Chain A
Amino acid sequence: MADSGVIADNAVDDSRRKFLLSATVATGAVGVAFTAVPFIASWTPSERARALGAPVDFDLSKLEPGQMATVIWQRQPIYIVRRTPEMVASLAGHDSRLKDPKSEDSDQPPYATNQMRSRVADYLVLIGVCTHLGCLPKQRFDRGNPELGADWPGGFACPCHGSRFDLAGRVFEGSPASVNLKVPPYALADARKLIVGVNDVKGAA
């Protein structure tokens, strides 16, 4: 090809050519990877999302025994239930009807890995999102509720696909959901104040 503009006969330089090409391509690939970082990072929760997801305070003195309140934390409904002694007693005796009575497969902080699934017996804090496909379970605290059966100990029933949970959020056999309702991190600042979103009081803003 002596008559075109190119004379390619550098067999000797082929290794140098290959080396430079690999070095350039490798460096370029590293550059592309680093360039992707800010774009991927931009999708992570913004400062606004994180601020709106800050821990939420709740005044416990507003709750009557047997009553439930709902607050929003990190865009999820949080059920806060003030359990009566009868409701706490109802938690025993139906382990055989539960899928995960010891909460071994379920998601909760260490202080809620017990029968009550809470720090103290009086107050239950749950993320009110059904662990099946995400609907809001409805409260069915009364025992022997007609639509749920005479042996219903009280708890939650999800309207979408029929999952059932007891008064500690533990899922019953026969439910489409496979794990217990999640417990969020929370702390008790004192007898009146519950903080949802942190594991200890110092972590709150």
Chain B
Amino acid sequence: MVRSHLRGAAALGLALVLATGLLAPALGSAAEGESSGFGADWESWRADTSVTDLASLQRGARDFMAYCNGCHSLKYMRYSRLGQDLEIAPDLLQKYLVPTNAKAADYIHAPMPAADATAWFGKPPPDLSLMARARGTDYLYQFLTTFYQDPSRPTGTNNLRLNATAMPDVLSELEGVKGAVFKNVQIAGADGAQVTEKVFDHFEPLAPGRMTREQYEGFVRDIVNFLDYVSEPAQAHRRSLGVWVVLFLLVFTWLAWLLKNEYWKDVH
């Protein structure tokens, strides 16, 4: 009797292991989305960026100018400051980043007139100089990776991070197009009665883009990293200076401690 139970348990266990193994691509990291749905864990996606990664910042600058600057300005940032901090040579800066009618010392504006933008999108695309500080890098990363098809919206797309966003899915040619699958879930409403709500379940890739999922995520990370740098260009310098300041103050504290003890020997 016991043996048959054990055999049954073993068989069940094996089945579970196999099933989990089969399900792993679906349940697992969003990086492997080709096979089936992904993104159930989108709220825990992290930007994982580092403003000391100069190469990433340079790519982010280039990609921002190419894909975002058409609508979004960085009005507190000068091209020349970018060149200085990101170690981009003046001629490369002029060639790839500075528009023909602008000078390197100019602030980074967007060519789209605000009035037209408001007419087309309902509100002007916000300036992004401080967006990384206002919303955080994780928010920005999630915003750029959770667009999905939604025919009910004027843009034809919607966004999980910012519901009913006025921004269209401008990066779909790179990322590809994906749809969102919602599930009906019963949750307790405010007055206790059961309410049916549509809750996001997972994404379904609908059409491929020019990049793989991994490439696209790297692309987004670079842009978010760049925006993080733009939101506070002095941050890398701040941290490195801080190390010296704190070390100096620790030395001073130690001396002050010795001095205090020396004098307080007098006190009984």
Residues of A within 8 A of B (CB): 5-8, 10, 13, 16-17, 20-21, 23-24, 27-28, 31, 34, 47, 51, 54, 205
Residues of B within 8 A of A (CB): 78, 80-81, 90, 94, 103-105, 248-249, 251-252, 255-256, 258-259, 262-263, 265-268
Give the residue among B90, B251, B266 with the most A Cβ atoms within 10 A: B266
Chain A residues lying within 8 Å of B268, measured Cβ to Cβ, are 5-7
A53 shortest CB reach to chain B, Å: 9
Chain A residues lying within 8 Å of B248, measured Cβ to Cβ, are 31, 34
Could you tell me if B266 and A6 are in contact, using CB atoms closer than 8 angstroms?
yes
A119 shortest CB reach to chain B, Å: 24
- 27 residue pairs bridging A and B, Cβ less than 8 Å apart: A5-B267, A6-B267, A7-B267, A8-B266, A10-B265, A13-B262, A13-B265, A17-B262, A20-B259, A21-B259, A23-B259, A24-B252, A24-B256, A27-B251, A27-B252, A27-B255, A28-B252, A31-B248, A31-B249, A34-B248, A47-B78, A47-B81, A51-B80, A51-B105, A205-B90, A205-B104, A205-B105
Q: Please, how many angstroms separate the alpha-carbon atoms of A16 and B252 in the complex? A: 17
Could you tell me if B105 and A20 are in contact, using CB atoms closer than 8 angstroms?
no
Chain B residues lying within 8 Å of A7, measured Cβ to Cβ, are 266-268
What 7 A-B pairs come out closest when comparing CB atoms? A51-B105, A20-B259, A24-B255, A205-B104, A8-B266, A24-B259, A27-B252
Chain A residues lying within 8 Å of B104, measured Cβ to Cβ, are 205
B160 shortest CB reach to chain A, Å: 39
B237 shortest CB reach to chain A, Å: 12
Q: Please, how many angstroms separate the alpha-carbon atoms of A31 and B80 in the complex? A: 33
* Contacting residue for A54 out of B81, B105, B256, CB 8 A: B105
Q: Given A7-B268, A23-B255: A17 and B103 within 8 A (CB)?
A: no
Chain B residues lying within 8 Å of A6, measured Cβ to Cβ, are 266-268
B80 shortest CB reach to chain A, Å: 7
17 extra interface residue pairs, beta carbon distance < 8 Å, beyond A13-B262, A13-B265, A51-B105: A7-B267, A8-B266, A16-B262, A20-B255, A20-B262, A23-B259, A24-B252, A24-B259, A27-B251, A28-B252, A31-B248, A31-B249, A31-B252, A51-B80, A54-B103, A205-B94, A205-B105
A40 shortest CB reach to chain B, Å: 16
Q: Please, how many angstroms separate the alpha-carbon atoms of A51 and B105 in the complex? A: 6
Q: Please, how many angstroms separate the alpha-carbon atoms of A51 and B266 in the complex? A: 61
Chain B residues lying within 8 Å of A34, measured Cβ to Cβ, are 248
Chain B residues lying within 8 Å of A20, measured Cβ to Cβ, are 255, 258-259, 262
B251 shortest CB reach to chain A, Å: 7
B3 shortest CB reach to chain A, Å: 78
Q: Please, how many angstroms separate the alpha-carbon atoms of A6 and B267 in the complex? A: 5
Could you tell me if A10 and B252 are in contact, using CB atoms closer than 8 angstroms?
no
Looking across the interface, which residue of chain A has its beta carbon closest to that of B78? A51
Chain A residues lying within 8 Å of B258, measured Cβ to Cβ, are 20
Chain A residues lying within 8 Å of B252, measured Cβ to Cβ, are 24, 27-28, 31
Q: Please, how many angstroms separate the alpha-carbon atoms of A35 and B248 in the complex? A: 12
B1 shortest CB reach to chain A, Å: 81
Q: Given A54-B105, A205-B103: A10 and B266 within 8 A (CB)?
A: yes
Q: Please, how many angstroms separate the alpha-carbon atoms of A33 and B55 in the complex? A: 36
Looking across the interface, which residue of chain B has its beta carbon closest to that of A50? B105
Q: Please, how many angstroms separate the alpha-carbon atoms of A6 and B268 in the complex? A: 6
Q: Please, how many angstroms separate the alpha-carbon atoms of A26 and B268 in the complex? A: 29
Could you tell me if B105 and A17 are in contact, using CB atoms closer than 8 angstroms?
no
Chain B residues lying within 8 Å of A10, measured Cβ to Cβ, are 265-266
Q: Please, how many angstroms separate the alpha-carbon atoms of A7 and B264 in the complex? A: 10
Chain A residues lying within 8 Å of B262, measured Cβ to Cβ, are 13, 16-17, 20
Q: Please, how many angstroms separate the alpha-carbon atoms of A21 and B255 in the complex? A: 9
Looking across the interface, which residue of chain A has its beta carbon closest to that of B84? A47
Q: Given A27-B252, A31-B248: A205 and B266 within 8 A (CB)?
A: no
